[in-house]
Amino acid sequence: MAVKSLSENETAPDDDTRRTLLRHMLVARGVDEEARRLQKQGVLDLWPSCEGHEAAQVGSALAAGPAATVVPSYREHAVALLRGVTPEELLAQWTGRTFCGWDPHRVRFFPYTMVLAAQTLHAVGYAIGRRMQGLEDFVVVYVGDGATSEGDMSEAMNLAAVESASVLFVVQNNGWAISKPAEEQMRTSVAERARGFGIASAAVPGRDPETVFAACSRAAAHIRGERAPFLVEIRVGRINGHTTADAQEVYRSSDDIARTKAADPVTGYADRLRGQGLVDAAWFAAVETEVREIRERLTKEYA
């Protein structure tokens, strides 16, 4: 159950990857902003924002690689976009058109699951099923801190451990399940809990996509090498309310909200790469153009 020790070099992203990380984060942010705007206009019925989760999502998804099958919860918009779900497809279900706007097979990104933690058992079952068919798929399943309290999550961890399933559990611990703080949801951490079931795990901060990328790369190497599960718990900040229907000011201190905003992973990483000279004004302008076009397309499609 020991983690294969890979040196930093083996898992640290190269410069191209770093730019890719930032670009995906910026695009996700742009889509999220547009979605929230459209929701305010009544075009979307609801939107669970992923602002604050971008580093965790982009870092983990890029580390997992394009061959992995992703079983999301309902907030993994940055993962969805990175996997090739178009922004239009992503928003479709929140406008009330469909339960799933994309082709899950084409992008190997499954439909969102609204019933918390139910997808964790699907992910493990899928991994077992693929292995039985001689196709050792690598499966990534996303779950929130609150959802880990559901029996299904524990059952999925036990099943994955017993079957030694090739599943990467990514827990995005944003400190809240709607209004319930994560400290009141558990006494330890999900990473510790996983070890109790016999699943190797790591807990990492989720502000820096490179840290996440490195941790998830190591996890992926472990899963591929040992053909055994791994759980990465990523601490992130939830910048907005649980969804657009949630007024987080009711239960969350303005200090806490301000601190979370100040620790924005997107601006933080943008500043860092800019400071390191990895990206310049022209690069940002290109991404901005891309985002503007996306936003225009979304408005055209839905507004």
Partner 1 sequence: MTGTVRSPCLAESINTALADLLDQDPRLVLIGEDIGRLGGVFRVTRGLRERFGADRVRDALLAESTIVGQAVGMAMSGLVPVCEIQFDGFTYPAVNQLVTQAARVGGRWNGRISPSLVVRIPTAGGFRGVEHHNDSNEALFARVPGISVACPSTGEDADQILRYAVALGSPVVVYEPIRLYWRRSSPPRSAEPARSPTAARVVRRGTDLTVATYGAITDEVLEAAHDLAPDVDVEVVDLRWVAPLDMDTVLESVGRTGRLLVVHEATKDVGIGAEIAASVAEYGHDALRGPVRRLAPDRRAYPPGDFEKDYMIGVREIRDEVLVMTK
Ligand X SMILES: Cc1ncc(C[n+]2csc(CCOP(=O)(O)OP(=O)(O)O)c2C)c(N)n1
Burial 83-103 (b: 16+ CB within 10 A, else e): bebbbbbbbbbbbeeeeebbe
We find the least distance from the C-beta atom of residue 146 to its own copies, in angstroms, to be 12
Element (H, E) at 256: helix 254-262
Q: For the chain, how far is it from start to end, CA to CA, in angstroms?
A: 51
Please count the other Cβ atoms lying within 10 Å of the Cβ belonging to residue 251.
13
Q: Under 8 Å CB-to-CB from 74, ≥6 apart: which residues?
A: 48, 112, 113, 114
Q: Pick from 154, 243, 267, 299 the residue near its own copies by CB under 8 A.
A: 154
**What are the distances in angstroms from CA 96 to CA 26, 43, 296?**
26, 9, 20
DSSP 3: P
- Partner whose binding site includes residue 198, from Mg ion, its own copies, partner 1, none (CB under 5 to 8 Å by kind): its own copies
Per-residue binding letters, 83-122, with ligand X (x by CB under 6 A): -------------------------------xxx------
- Nearer CB in complex with its own copies: 6/118: 118
Which of 13, 28, 126, 273 contacts partner 1 by CB under 8 A?
126
Residue number with CB closer to partner 1 (12 or 100): 100
User: How do strand 180-181 and strand 176-177 relate by DSSP bridges?
Assistant: antiparallel
The tokens describing 293, both together, are 């076009």
Among 19, 37, 180, 227, indicate the residue that binds partner 1 (CB under 8 A): 180
Angle between helices 265-275 and 15-40 (to 10 degrees): 140
With CA atoms as reference, report the closest residue to 201 among 178, 167, 155, 153.
167
**With binding defined as CB under 6 A, does residue 147 bind ligand X?**
yes
Q: Report 212-251 residues binding partner 1 (CB under 8 A).
A: 245-246, 250-251
**Residue 186-215 contact track with its own copies, rule CB under 8 A, x = bound:** xxx---xxxxxxx-----------------
* Contact between 156 and ligand X per CB under 6 A: no
Query: Shortest distance, CB of residue 186 to its own copies, whole angstroms?
Result: 6
Indicate which single residue of 101, 144, 241, 265 sits in contact with ligand X (rule: CB under 6 A): 144
* 235 is a contact residue toward ligand X (CB under 6 A): no
Binding status of residue 151 toward its own copies by CB under 8 A: yes
Positive/negative CA dihedral, 60, 66, 111, 166: negative
Q: How far is the CB of 46 from partner 1 (least distance, A)?
A: 6
Which residues contribute to the site for its own copies (CB under 8 A)? 149-152, 154-155, 158, 161-162, 184-188, 192-198
